[in-house]
A and B are shown apart, each in its own frame.
Chain A
Amino acid sequence: MLPVYYYLGLAIILFTLGALGVLIRRNAIVVFMSIELMLNAANLAFVAYARYWQSMDGQIFVFFIMTVAAAEVAIGLALIVTIFRTKASIDVDQISTLKG
């Protein structure tokens, strides 16, 4: 059995990639996918620890996170579609009407 550090290391790499994606990419769908990546990195960490501590709590958290992610995808994609309809673009840098 692989040590838990391996799983955690993978989770950290995935989370870092997701975070960089959110910060760097301008395409809204890519940003969105990066967020999914971060969520799944968290899921992986939960599952790894659940296995390590022999506890079901982590497993249950993952189920909740997946449910929330699904709901978030539904709302997020709907927002992106609406933004595309009004702006004819999904470039997040162009959505800057809140600039002070």
Chain B
Amino acid sequence: MSLSDALNAGGYFYLVPLVVIFPVMGLLINIFFGGRMGEKAIGAIACLASGLSFVVAFLLGISLVNHPEAVTISFMDWNWITVGSLQLDWAFRVDTLSVTMMLVVGGVGTLIHIYAVGYMHDDVLHNGDPGRFRRFFVYFNLFIAAMMILVSANNYMMLFIGWEGVGLCSYLLISFWYEKGKDGIGNALAGKKAFIANRIGDFGFLIAAFLMFKYFQPLTANGVFSFDFDSVANLASQVPQSAILAITLFMLLGVTGKSAQLPLYVWLPDAMAGPTPVSALIHAATMVTAGVYLVARSHAMYSLVPVAQNWVAIIGAVTALFAATIAVAQYDIKKVLAYSTISQLGFMVAAVGMGAYVAGMFHLVMHAFFKALLFLSAGSVIQGVERGEHEVEQDPNLRKRMKHEAHFDPQDMRNMGGLRHRMKTTFWVYLVGALALAGIVPLAGFWSKDEILAEASVLNPAIYILLIIAAFFTAFYMGRQIFMVFFGKARSEPAAHAEESPAIMTIPLIVLALLSIIGGFLNFPTFHTFTTWLEHTIQAVAEGVSGGEAATVGGFNIVVAILSSVIALGAIVLAWYLYMRRTQAMQKLPLNQRPDDPLRSIIGPIFTLLENKYWVDEFYGYLVIKPYQWLAKFLAEKVDWDFWHDFFHDTILVRGFNGLTRILSGPIDLGLIDGIANFMGDGFKELATQMRKLQSGYVRTYALSIFIGVIFIIGYLILRLG
């Protein structure tokens, strides 16, 4: 589909480069002029940059309504890389899938930008460096730009640029307060961990790309392979199945890195070291969905190899359950949400793995709404408690009561409680987000999660069972969190004096809460708006519909829906029983016998196992990191220092050079070269000594020699002429 056709169809497709250009402009303005501007101006520019990006995405969406076929827009006919039979163009792809992602990134991103203006104002003061306000929004805009490149790319390599870009932003923002955290280095280590885990995934992506080039390039009509999605989709069926399997599995490694799936999920919980808007924007709403997007984007390849699809689905489902169980036993309000994110990403990955691309994408969008909402509300809660802490410290009477709490952690849920009275708006939006996540009718999460469950019940019963258990835990840990944070009595002085956040933070929360309430109607059963929207891009959907498997596509199964609702409600009731009734009962016990969590008194060691996250970090530590560090130490001390430095360098090289130098300086330089020079000098000196004797100084001698010379010349002339 060429550009002129698209223009005739009345679209705004040619605007698509602006989704990247606006955030780039925003960050450039803030880099070069932000120093002279106030916080408000910096925030306004960053929000505007992201907002305009969303507006462009919205216009693209409107254009696609009339013209749903995919359009490719070249960016200034830029031939990015041309090497031999590889030709990469910088071109944007506008189709329903990419625009869906653009709308999520732009829309949720803008709301988080607005919220961050309020949040970071307090955060930079709290952490004592107001100068970093500008830096934060530069990174934020950079992230939006990178994510927009990722979703608007027309080929795998351009997508990879965005893929790396979001990884970079993630690193920069996790270690935003790089000198803070445990031992003054904790945040920096968290950033490093995220970067390295992502690099392992990126390695998989790159291998997949190399394999793609190897197997796809010979099949192209003109011998030039450009990695663009259309040609890959068209050629995939001609490539050997084993090659496609290898490509998709290596790509799956990339997905597990970026979308925080087993076994590379470990970076995401640590990524909570970043400021809360970062957690919301990057580690819940957008960046981590890149893996899901990649699988959906590569559906043409995945649908050819059921083995790879199975692996994707299994990894997703196991991750969903695994992370959900860990979330049950966490005390850090953000850690719970982090594991919840991993779990929900598992749902999406399982869905796209089963071929339920629409369900996966639908859950992705809904999850972006309610998880951004939850993270931002959690940020609001944390800052509310911090404000309470500040107030307590100002008041000498209250401070005495704080004494026994040397290191007060404003993120620990055990320090909270009863916040619903102090922070009313936050409570209500948090409740909406939690219920949406738990999958309660009629909130967003119910419809999207149910769609995944309904598809799983038909496509793969094993996955279905794993996911429904995960859904139970999901509802349980969200119930636990709500009851621990907002209900009961305040368990610390700062929580008792918590204060509501300013309007600039609560208004985005309310908007996200509304989206979380009504979002589910985007793909309401029987209308299937979203399915119709996406089927233009994802062939499998269209084929499924025409193939008479309509039940599996965006299907709604009333039995599944009722079952999952019952399970969710049951989990919430269980949470209520444990964390309201049991907790109150436990208050009567003396302090030293009182367990810190009611669940611990019931399941005991299992709770400790969950609390320590199955010791996966420690396991990786022993399995990978310790040997790696040992190897690094061995290489550094033995190989590099002892062998290369002490032996090779100091012994062999130094001695060799010393010997060579001695030869060069002694016999060669002093003997030969100096000998020649001295011989010539001495010779000339001797010659001069002999010649000077001719200079007698007597005029007559000279006159005589002139006479003799004249006689010789004349004699010669006479002889020659004669």
Chain A: residues with CB nearer than 8 A to chain B? 19, 22-24, 31, 92-93, 95-100
Of the stretches B220-228, B240-248, B506-514, B687-695, the one at the interface is B687-695
B590 within 8 A of A: no
Q: A99 vs B695: C-alpha distance in the bound complex, in angstroms? A: 5
CA of A98 to CA of B698 in the docked complex: distance in angstroms?
8
One of B691, B697, B703 near A22 (C-beta < 8 A): B703
Instruction: Decide if B704 touches A100 in the complex (CB within 8 Å).
Output: no
Interface pair B700/A99, CB less than 8 Å apart: no
Q: Tell me the B residues contacting A by CB distance below 8 Å.
A: 691-700, 703-704, 707
**Residues of B close to A96: CB separation below 8 A:** 696-698
- Nearest Cβ in chain A — how far from B127, in angstroms? 91
What is the chain B residue whose CB lies nearest that of A22? Answer: B703
A100 B707 Cβ-Cβ under 8 A: no
Contact in complex: A23, B697 (CB < 8 Å)? no
Question: Which residues from chain A contact B698 at a C-beta distance below 8 Å?
Answer: 92-93, 96
- What's the nearest-Cβ distance from chain A to residue B129, in Å? 86
A99 and B704 within 8 A (CB): no
Question: Knowing A19-B707, A23-B704, A23-B707 touch, does A100 contact B697 (C-beta < 8 A)?
Answer: yes
B706 nearest CB neighbor, chain A only: A22
A94 to chain B, nearest CB (A): 10
List the B side residues contacting A22 at CB < 8 Å: 700, 703
Q: Across the interface, do A23 and B703 meet the contact criterion of CB distance under 8 Å?
A: yes
Please tell me if the beta carbons of A95 and B699 are within 8 angstroms of each other in the complex: yes
The distance from the CB of B295 to the nearest CB of chain A, in whole angstroms, is: 101
How many Å lie between the Cα of A52 and that of B721 in the bound state? 22
Query: Whole-angstrom distance between the alpha carbons of A96 and B695 in the complex?
Result: 10
How many Å lie between the Cα of A98 and that of B707 in the bound state? Answer: 20
> Would you call A92 and B700 a contact (CB within 8 A)?
yes
A23 to B693, CA, bound (A): 20
Nearest residue, chain B, Cβ from A35? B703
Across the interface, which residues of B come within 8 angstroms of A24, CB to CB? 700
Instruction: Among A22, A31, A97, find the residue whose CB has the most chain B CB atoms closer than 10 A.
Output: A22
Closest to B695 in A: A100
Give Cα A34–Cα B695 distance, bound, in whole angstroms. 24
| Residue of B with least CB distance to A19 | B707
Q: A22-B700, A93-B699, A100-B697 are in contact. List 6 more A-B contacts (CB 8 A).
A: A92-B699, A93-B700, A99-B697, A100-B691, A100-B693, A100-B696
The distance from the CB of A35 to the nearest CB of chain B, in whole angstroms, is 10
Shortest beta-carbon contacts, A-B, top 7 = A99-B697, A96-B697, A100-B695, A100-B692, A92-B699, A98-B697, A22-B703
- Tell me if B700 and A23 are in contact (CB < 8 A): yes
| CB-CB nearest in chain B for A96 | B697
| Partner among B697, B700, B707 whose Cβ is within 8 Å of the Cβ of A97 | B697
CB distance from A11 to the nearest CB of B (A): 15
Residue of B with least CB distance to A98:
B697
Chain B residues within 8 Å of A95, by CB: 697, 699
Report the minimum CB–CB distance from B706 to chain A (whole Å): 10
What is the minimal beta-carbon distance from B404 to any residue of chain A, in angstroms?
A: 109
**Which residues of chain B are near A99, meaning CB under 8 Å?**
695-697
Q: Which residue of A lies closest to B699 (CB)?
A: A92
A55 to B692 Cα, complex, angstroms: 48
A31 to B703, CA, bound (A): 11
Closest B-chain residue to A24, C-beta based? B700
